[in-house]
Structures are given as C-alpha cells and as structure tokens.
Amino acid sequence: MKVKISLYTVLFALLLTACASKKDAPSADAGKKPVYRPLDESQRMEVDFLFFNAQKEKLIGNYGVAENLFLEIIKRDPGNALAHYEIARTSIARQQFERALEYGRKASAMEPGNEWYLRLESDLLRQTNRFEEAIPVLQRLAEIVEDKESALFDLAMVQGEAKKYNDAIKTLNTLEARTGPSPELADQKRQLWLKLGKPDKALEEIRKLAESQPENSEYKLYLGQLYFEKGDFENALRQFELALKQEPENGKIILALADVYRARKENDKAFSYLERAFSKPDLDIDLKIQVLLTLFSEMDKNPAARTQALALGKETTRLHPEEPKAWAMYADLLYHSDMTAEAKVAYQQAIATDKGNQKFTVWQQYLLALLDVQEFALLSTEGDKAVDLFPNQALPYFLSGLAKNQLKDYTAAVSVLEAGVFYVSGNRELEASFYSSLGDAQNELKNFAASDASYTKSLAIQPDNALVLNNWSYYLSLRKDQLSKAEEMIQKAVKLEPKNPSYLDTYAWVMYQQARYKEALEWMELALSHAGDDRATLYEHYGDILFRLGDETKAMEYWRKAKEAGMESDFIDRKIADGKLYE
C-alpha cells in the first residue's frame, strides 16, 4: 500500500539538515569579524525547536510567522547563517527583494564557501539590477562549485548585463576551452562583439565555429544566414552550397538558397528552389507558412507572386493533408485571389482537420466566403454552428441573421440578431449593421414600430449610411407612412450616391406615393439611365407611373418588359391580362 509521509516527518528531515549545516559560532580576531558565543546544549535545543516551528509555518505559507521565528533564532544565535538565509527566502516569497538581499548577503558573509548562499545572493543582485555587484559573487561561486561551466556561463551573462563586454567574452572563451565550441557560446560572443561595434569579429566567431566542425552543415547554414543578413550574398551562397553538398535533402538549406536567389532578383531560380524545398515533407510547416505569408503580402502588386503562392500553397496541402494551418493558409490565398468557391472548400478542410481546437479566424473567413458565393442556406446552418462554437463573437450571429433574412426566415433572423448584438464590442459599424438587418426582418414581419426603432438606432450610429437610408425610405413608401421623412432620407441617400439606380427608383416611388407623378417619372427615367441588367422592378414601376399619367399603352409595354426581365410581383400578371393598375 502507499505510505503517507506526514508534514512532521518532512520537518524533522529539514531540521536534521539545518542542524548539520549550522556551524558553531566562529572565532575571529576582535575588530575583524564578530565573535559569537557558542551555544550550550540547552540553547541549541531551543534554537532547533524554533527552527522546526519556523519551517513548519513556512511550508504552510505563514511567512510572517516563520520570519518572526527565524528572527528569534538570530536573536539567540546571531551567527546562524541558515536563519539569515531562510529570512531571505521568506522575503522573496513576500516580494520583498531588498530585505531578501540584506539577509542573503549576511548569510553568504558568514559562510563564504556555501554554494547555495552565494547562488541566492547572486540571484538577488541580478533581480535588483545590481549586475556589477553580482560579478565578484559569481566569480567566488565559480571557484568553489563542481559545475563550473554553469557558473562561468552565468558570470558571462552578468558581465554582459553590466556592459563589461570584453570581460564577458574572456569568460566565454574560458568556458569554451573547457567545453569545446558550441553554437550557443559562439552566438553569445557574436552578440557581445556586435555590442562593442565590431561586426567583423562577430562574424568571425561563427566562422571559427563552422571551421571547428566541418562535418556539421548546421553551422555552415548559420554562417551563411549571417552573411545573408549582412548583404554578402556571394559568401552566403558559398556556405549554403557547401551545406547542401553535405545534406542534399535538407529543406532548410534549400529554402536558404531560394532566399539568396530571390534577393539577387533571380526569381525563376529562386522559385525552383522554393518548389524543391516545399516538396520536402520533413521541412517544418511553419517555415513553409512564413514563405507563403511573404508571397501573400506581395500578391496584389506582383502577379508572379500570386501564381507562385497558389502553387506552393496547394503543394503544402498535398504533403500535409492533416495539418489545419496548411489548409487555412491555402484558403486565404485562394480567397484573396477571388477564387472564392475554391477557398470555401479549403476552409472546410481546415475546419475538418482541426480536431477539437477550432480557430475563430478560420471560421470567420469561411462564413465570409459563403456570403460571397451567396450560399445562404449553408451560411445559415454554418453560422449557427459558429455561434455555438464562439458564443461571445458577434460576427457569426450577424452573418447567420443576414442569411436567414435572405431565406425569408424572418422570425429566426430576428432571434439570432437580437441575441448577437449584445456581443458587439468596439465595432460601431458592425453594430449599425445588426440594427439595419433587424429593421429589414422586423419590417417583413410587419412589426413596423420595432423596425423603425431598429433603423433609428442604425442611423444614430451611421447617419450617412446610404443603404439604410434607402431601405427605410422604400419601406415607408410601400406602407405610405411618414412620406415626408421618407423623402428626406432618400434625398440624402441620392446625394451620397447620385448614380445608384436602386436609390433613384426609391426616390421615384416616394414621389409616386405622394401622387407627384411627373416628378416620379423624371426620377424613374434617371434610374433607368443608370441601370444595368437588373431592370425588372424599374420597368414595372415605370409602367405604373405611366399609367397614372394616362399613357396606358406605354404602361402596358413596360409591364411586359418587366415580365420578360423576370419580374414576379403579386400583380404583374393581372396588370398585363387586364390592362389595369393593381396595387
């Protein structure tokens, strides 16, 4: 069975350790060091008991109580280094670093050969940015510890922080003599030489590293990258080619060669190396994504970059079919190349392969792609899924509601839009769109008061939104309600977009509903002059206006044109059959 170790067993072990680590009070010449009277057996037992209780309180987080007990030990045994050390540790736990340093220094002064006291003092000096003061402490530590390599490395780091760069380089050279060359040490020295303003010395450190281990292609790759960053493409190319001879299938080296040729404007050669690198399944996909992001940023200005990005993105999904980020990246490339239908499929793959770790950004782009291709039924159902996955994100609610409006499922649209507007935060444009879509849905449900209230909220946020101004004005005209307000709003919309045929049609219809038929005719003719292929509604409205003006023959002509253009209004067939106006 499992044996349970009690708190007191642990404390007893700590007590034994404490007793073993404590020394009798040191003797010293007067004036050089304090002289502490040795404790007798009874006093030692009292101190041990206090230490036991102090450790117990520290273990359960009662640092203040523990510290008072350690202070009582120091009062009875002023030379107790361990008690000073423990006060330093409790002070750290209480974020009292200056107090911790005070007691840590006292502990290491009492026992200058104690590794742990020196480590604590050096850590606290570094914590409080006293780097120069930490240097002699770490030098002492390096003299006494067995793990001199670690101590020397820490010393070099502190010397660097203290801006004693030459001393830090010397320390690292001492360490390198003990351990042999390594990329970590070479890079540390490189950075120090750069801080001294000696870039050639910095590069020399990596060159020496590469020469010390000629069988290691990684060091040649690193050296080549430094030459590349310096703009020395010839030497960079030489190092990369040497590395590639050793590892001809290494994707990182091939990618580095592509970078050189790209920098030299040898684009065809650069792309051939990119293709070769991307064909390596073991090349880290994050490196591939970085390349694709670079090409992505150039796509709008460089058609060749677009072609290359799409080819490499497709290859990435072929080699990494179970990697969501490969599909998401490829989908973004397709989407921004106006290949929305293909992007939709790629986003679906990104979502399908992302098991249990769905990304909102991917879903967002997917839903926007569905909106672009006008797959409203799918947008409605997928939007609802996104709402369930990301209940605090407003956009899925909006897109789901927008789709439901298009599907004429107005009750469901109102429900999801009213729920989602609550989550809009800091995006006033999106908030306005929520209210305008709510206005559309509520109008269709003939909940006119709610519709007007929603449009009012939308225009309060975006008073110059021509689309909202037009829609509300048109709905008011159909209801023959607040026609002065409708006229005021459509005037503003037309002023904002004077050649928009839909807005001009609304203006004509507001005039029509006020029996201002001649003005309506003028606005409708202007609408037709700017209209594209979508003219069915305009033709029917034009016929209605002509009929009101007494030109029944021409009205019939335009009703027929409306029907031929695909008009499916409630009255168009009756108008044509009877030659009468129905409203």
pLDDT at residue number 11 = 36
**Percent of the chain, pLDDT > 90?**
75
Q: Which of 36-50, 65-79, 307-321, 351-365 ranks highest by mean pLDDT? A: 307-321
For the stretch 258-294, pLDDT in tens is 999 999 999 999 999 999 999 999 999 999 999 999 9
Q: How far apart are CA 559 and CA 127, in angstroms?
A: 85
pLDDT at residue number 75 = 86
pLDDT at residue number 26 = 35
Instruction: Region of 79 please: left (phi>0), alpha (psi -120 to 50) or beta.
Output: alpha
CATH classification code of 1-128: 1.25.40.10
For the stretch 429-466, pLDDT in tens is 999 999 999 999 999 999 999 999 999 999 999 999 99
- Residue 565, C-beta contacts closer than 8 angstroms, at least 6 positions apart: 535, 536, 539
Q: Answer whether 162's CB lies under 8 Å from 131's CB.
A: yes
Q: How far apart are CA 126 and CA 195, in angstroms?
A: 20
pTM of the model: 0.74
- Residue 156, C-beta contacts closer than 8 angstroms, at least 6 positions apart: 168, 171, 172, 175, 188
Q: Answer whether 441's CB lies under 8 Å from 401's CB.
A: yes
- 113-135: average pLDDT: 92
Instruction: Region of 446 please: left (phi>0), alpha (psi -120 to 50) or beta.
Output: left
pLDDT at residue number 32 = 44
Q: How far apart are CA 25 and CA 372, in angstroms?
A: 84
For the stretch 35-81, pLDDT in tens is 566 777 887 888 788 888 878 888 888 888 888 888 888 888 888 88
